[in-house]
Amino acid sequence: MAPTMLPVVVAVAAVAAVLSGCGDTSAIAEFNKGEEFARAGDWAAAVPCYTEAIRLDSEFAEAYCKRGNAYLNLSKHHKAIEDYTEAINLEPGSAHAYYQRGIANFDKKEYRRAIDDYTEATRLEPDTANPFFNRGDAKLDKKERERVVREFTEAIRQKK
């Protein structure tokens, strides 16, 4: 993202958060600090910012999801899965949270759970290729070779 777009993105995120019920601007400020650390790849520094945003607004689903991303990048899969699950509880229609939880489950070699998460992500956003691809990859690791060909074929179809 171009540096000149950052203030616009932050402002839009703040307005969206207020309109969606995340009215505490200090929670938004902490979330945005976490985003800055995440963009810099400093996942360990991002976690406390997201944690503070959640403390200030316990229904801030995106903060749970982003902290889950930070935990995932720190290879703390169990904590990532907990955060993605909470994000899903708060926003059951979040294909992104299901997709990310699928990645965490896949990394833990919990292929059945990963497949279930990717399946829900594809149900919620059927025009997105990545969950189809990852589901196929999980099935490949689970040795479901016939289904894998179908998954990769669908991923290719979605990319067109």
Highest mean pLDDT: which range of 83-92, 131-140, 148-157: 83-92
Whether 2 shows a pLDDT value over 60: the answer reads no
pLDDT-based confidence at residue 21 (cuts at 50, 70, 90): very low
pLDDT-based confidence at residue 128 (cuts at 50, 70, 90): confident
pTM above 0.75, yes or no: no
For residues 116 and 99, the answer to whether their CB atoms sit within 8 Å is no
1-23 mean pLDDT: 46
**Contacts from 135-143 at CB under 8 Å and sequence distance 24+?**
135/102, 137/106, 138/102, 138/106, 138/111, 138/114, 139/111, 139/115, 141/106, 141/109, 141/111, 142/111, 142/112, 142/115
Residue type, 35: E
- pLDDT, tens digit (0-9, with 9 covering 90-100), for 33-91: 999 999 999 999 999 999 999 999 999 999 999 999 999 999 999 999 999 999 999 99
Architecture of the structural domain at 21-77: Alpha Horseshoe (1.25)
Task: Give the tokens for residue 98.
Answer: 């299901």
Whether 4 shows a pLDDT value over 80: the answer reads no
Whether 159 shows a pLDDT value over 60: the answer reads yes
Closest-CA residue to 137 (of 96, 105, 98): 105
Mean pLDDT of the chain: 84
List where CATH 1.25.40.10 sits in the chain. 21-77, 93-160
Closest-CA residue to 61 (of 89, 34, 33): 89
**Going by CATH, does the domain composed of 93-160 fall within 3.40.50.300?**
no
Report d(CA 107, CA 9) in Å as an integer: 31
Q: What pLDDT, on the 0 to 100 scale, is given for residue 13?
A: 52
